[in-house]
Amino acid sequence: MNADLDRMRNFEIVKAAYLLMAAHRFGMNLSGYGEVAVNPNSGNTFLWVEDYPFTLYLPISSELKDADVWVQWTDPDDSEEYEGTLNEFRDLKEIYAWIKELEELKQC
């Protein structure tokens, strides 16, 4: 897991820590290749792990609650992005079920 904390401001580091804790709570294995960083275009703090088909992120303005953490899935075929908040899901199974449902809808 890469984390370039020297490039982050204090609150961005706090948001990165919150994302890591949220991912851990959901049972994500964070030992693989990934990155927690700030998107230079949007200013969002994100957590991306190669082993998962989604990214977690916190927008610039957030209160460090699960309702502020966004789960983003990008369709590999057309790069269309879909988002939901973390508090909409109970666990990783529900996130995967949401992605599967989106994939099935796209095939129709």
Question: Which pLDDT value is given to residue 47?
Answer: 98
Domain residue spans of the chain = 2-107
Q: Under a CB-based contact definition with an 8 Å cutoff, are residues 69 and 22 in contact? A: yes
Question: Which helix (DSSP H) or strand (DSSP E) does residue 68 occupy?
Answer: none
- CA distance linking residue 94 with residue 67, whole number of Å: 16
φ, ψ for residue 57 (rounded to 5)? -150, 155
Along the 108 residues of the chain, how does pLDDT read in single tens digits?
Answer: 899 899 999 999 999 999 999 999 999 999 999 999 999 999 999 999 999 999 999 999 999 999 999 999 999 999 999 999 999 999 999 999 999 999 999 887
Task: Supply the pLDDT for residue 33.
Answer: 97
